[in-house]
Chain A
């Protein structure tokens, strides 16, 4: 798949909650096809503390309006600078990068996300729905204040929520959600993105239930295009690279 480097104009910077925001980016060029799970490398400002690009998943794409959406959590200097961008400002992206998720054999698929890890699950849910599959979302957040765009996810499938403090949905972590003890018989695939501990627990649950599981991983990245070999992930086949062999991996291939 051909990769591009383009300037995008910010058309909106929407605050989703205390920590998350969504950037809407409009390109001059027609957007190429972007697959669920793929990411972009955002050039922040190349200042002393935000020197390298930041990898961010594609949250959604509007091909008609030629707009790309990124859901971002403020965790440090780079994401803080991005959160302060205003409409009209320019952002440079290298994209689309990485691989994608695979189609489930059966109809029903479970998409488990934690925190900002829900980001790639939007495009994935939409694609599954377009493929006549039935995506179901199960999301974990720290508290009700951090819940993201549930109405948007709802267009593609049912959404179940768990929060650490019980302020919304069920109290506890996603892997303890009652949904996983009940209605799981016809689930043919599990996809997960979020903190590594959560993804490991999800992968274990899927393996115990004989359901294939794909996880979207994060590592520190420099180039994002397979040139620097910095984003190493151990797999049963040896070292893989998250930016080119991933970010999506079958959980059974991971040594983690």
Chain B
């Protein structure tokens, strides 16, 4: 028997494989395809203080080995989440972690306070890295004094596991990781999407209505791996690795680079059963390598030269 369980702060995950925010709805969308109870956790869609309609169409375009999206945090707001969605999903046999976003520090705090009271939500992920909203979002994630302020403010009102999701759209992501660690984050997750754009040469127009959008999928994996490795080497809190994970090997690479757990995003659109395949693949890898505990992979990268 191999041990697949990991800890993120005080949070116990039965295995390190989770679904990324914005790519897995509220989990219900996938229950025809997989047993949600098999997952380490589900990070649900970004939730804000009040309802957001999101951005105009087109919001998505495929690019080489990836996609650009500009959904723009469309959601019905935290009160709707609590009254209508939470009762439905609280029975899942996996952790539900809410991704929290806002335009102002007050909005982040308000959402976090409300979620703090929900018994079956053991953690939140502060999204200070959404590239698709005009105000807030990434502003907090690309200006370290703001990142510190929002993390400190939320930490004051939130008692459970606080994960801060970092933006890759910065020069030094380690600086941000250290900043939010100092401000009380229990873990960091990275990376959110990379700011990008696509152009229709025929029409001489941008493809996305918002001109720019967030790049995800295998195209961003090398960047994400490098950032996870850098952050792992600069903070003590656990790191959750995200970016282009398509299979178990990708997930293992993130763990070797220093991730204690991983999130699978875009890959769910191609194979709705991918998360479970990643879990099984990690287990097979451990058995083949004669390793008994998945935690021994974390940061085990051997740098020879």
Chain A positions within 8 Å of B, measured between CB atoms, are: 2-5, 43, 46, 48-49, 51-53, 94, 219-234, 238-239
- Cross-chain pairs A/B with CB under 8 angstroms, 30 sampled: A2-B32, A3-B32, A5-B33, A5-B271, A46-B270, A48-B65, A49-B62, A52-B62, A219-B57, A220-B60, A220-B62, A222-B60, A222-B67, A223-B269, A224-B269, A226-B29, A227-B30, A227-B268, A228-B23, A228-B60, A230-B69, A230-B71, A231-B59, A231-B60, A232-B54, A232-B56, A234-B56, A238-B53, A239-B54, A239-B74
> Total A-B residue pairs with C-beta atoms closer than 8 Å?
96
| A48-B65, A226-B25 as given contacts; A232 in contact with B59, CB under 8 Å | yes
B178 at the interface (CB under 8 A from A): no
Interface SS majority for chain A: loop
B30 touches A228 (CB 8 A): no
A230 touches B59 (CB 8 A): yes
Residue numbers in B under 8 Å from A231 (CB-CB): 57, 59-60
Give Cα A106 to B197, complex, Å: 49
Q: Measured between C-beta atoms, what is the minimum distance from B43 to chain A in Å?
A: 12
B22 at the interface (CB under 8 A from A): yes
Give Cα A94 to B32, complex, Å: 11
Residue numbers in A under 8 Å from B83 (CB-CB): none
Q: Measured between C-beta atoms, what is the minimum distance from A218 to chain B in Å?
A: 11
Give Cα A103 to B272, complex, Å: 32
Q: Can you list the 5 inter-chain pairs with the closest CB atoms, starting with the nearest?
A: A230-B60, A227-B25, A227-B29, A223-B269, A222-B269
Interface SS majority for chain B: loop
B interface residue count range (under 10 / 10 to 19 / 20 to 34 / 35 or more): 35 or more
B273 at the interface (CB under 8 A from A): yes
Residue numbers in B under 8 Å from A3 (CB-CB): 32-33
| A4-B32, A49-B64, A239-B54 as given contacts; A223 in contact with B268, CB under 8 Å | yes
B74 touches A228 (CB 8 A): no
B145 at the interface (CB under 8 A from A): no
Chain B positions within 8 Å of A, measured between CB atoms, are: 22-25, 29-30, 32-33, 45, 53-62, 64-67, 69, 71, 74, 217-218, 266, 268-273
Q: Measured between C-beta atoms, what is the minimum distance from A77 to chain B in Å?
A: 10
Name the contact of B270 in the complex, choosing from A43, A220, A226, A233 (C-beta under 8 A): A43
Give Cα A221 to B62, complex, Å: 9
Q: Measured between C-beta atoms, what is the minimum distance from A49 to chain B in Å?
A: 6
Residue numbers in B under 8 Å from A4 (CB-CB): 32
Give Cα A170 to B23, complex, Å: 47
A222 touches B57 (CB 8 A): no
Give Cα A75 to B268, complex, Å: 25
A52 touches B270 (CB 8 A): yes
Give Cα A52 to B266, complex, Å: 9
Name the contact of B64 in the complex, choosing from A48, A227, A232, A234 (C-beta under 8 A): A48
A228 touches B69 (CB 8 A): yes
